[in-house]
Amino acid sequence: MDGILIVNKPAGMTSHDVVNRLRKILQTKKIGHTGTLDPQATGVLVVLVGKACKILQFLNDTDKTYRAGIQLGYATDTMDVFGTITQEKEVNLDFDFEEVLKSFQGKISQLVPMTSAKKIHGKKLMEYQRQNIEIEPIYQDVEIYSIRALNVQDLTFEVHCSSGTYVRSICYEFAKKTNNEGCMKSLERIRVGRFSIEQAQSLEEIEVLPRYYPIEDLLSHIPRIDMNDVQDVLHGKKLCISNQESNLVCIYHQQKPLAIYERVDGDLYASKRGLW
Write down the pLDDT at residue 61. Answer: 66
DSSP assignment of 31-80 equals EEESS---TT-EEEEEEEEGGGGGGGGG-----EEEEEEEEESEEETTSB
Whether residue 4 contacts residue 212, with contact meaning beta carbons closer than 8 Å, is answered with yes
**Beta-sheet pairing, 106-111 with 195-196:** unpaired
Q: Structure pTM?
A: 0.89
Q: What are phi and psi of 257, to 5 degrees?
A: -65, 130
**pLDDT tens profile 148-188:** 999 999 999 999 999 889 999 999 999 999 999 999 999 99
Q: What is the pLDDT of residues 29-45, one digit of tens each?
A: 999 998 889 899 999 99
Residue 57: what are its φ and ψ, rounded to 5°?
-70, -10
**For 132-147, b where at least 16 C-beta lie within 10 A, e where not — what string?**
eeeeeeeeeebbbeeb
Give the pLDDT band of residue 244 (cuts 50, 70, 90). very high
Q: Look up 80 and say whether it is catalytic.
A: no
Instruction: Check residue 57 and give its pLDDT.
Output: 86
Pair 70, 203: CB distance under 8 Å: no
Could you say which of 38, 61, 226, 229 is catalytic?
A: 38
Contact 68, 42 (CB under 8 A): no
**Among residues 104, 121, 253, which one has the least CA distance to residue 175?**
104
All residues at 6 or more sequence positions from 222 whose CB lies less than 8 Å from its CB, including other chains: 58, 246, 248, 249, 250, 260
Q: For the chain, what is the mean pLDDT?
A: 93
pLDDT above 70: percentage of residues in the chain: 100
Q: What is the pLDDT of residues 61-117, one digit of tens each?
A: 689 999 999 999 999 999 999 999 999 999 999 999 999 999 999 999 998 887 777
Amino acid at 240: C
Q: Distances from the Cα of 189 to the Cαs of 28, 171, 229, in angstroms?
A: 26, 15, 43
Going by pLDDT thresholds of 50, 70 and 90, the confidence category of residue 125 is confident
Could you tell me the CA-to-CA distances from 224 to 53, 87, 147, 219, 231 in Å, in that order?
19, 55, 35, 9, 18
How much is the pLDDT for 129? 77
Q: Name residue 112's beta-bridge partners.
A: none
> Tens of pLDDT along 178-187?
999 999 999 9
* pLDDT for the residue 227: 94
Span of 15-29, 76-90, 134-148, 192-206 with lowest mean pLDDT: 134-148
Neighbour tally for 102: CB within 10 Å:
15
Query: Which residues are within 8 A (CB) of 131 and not within 5 positions of it... i.e. 6 or more apart?
Result: none
In this predicted structure, the answer to whether residue 204 has a pLDDT above a threshold of 80 is yes
Strands (E), the chain: 3-9, 31-33, 42-49, 64-72, 74-76, 85-88, 106-111, 119-120, 123-124, 139-151, 156-161, 182-192, 195-196, 224-226, 239-240, 248-253, 256-265, 268-274
Percent of the chain with pLDDT over 90: 79
Q: Length of the chain in residues, anyone? A: 276
Q: Which of 102-111, 114-123, 238-247 has the lowest mean pLDDT?
A: 114-123
- Residues 184 and 171: their CA atoms lie apart, in Å, by 5
HSE of 180, CA atoms in CB hemisphere, 13 A: 21
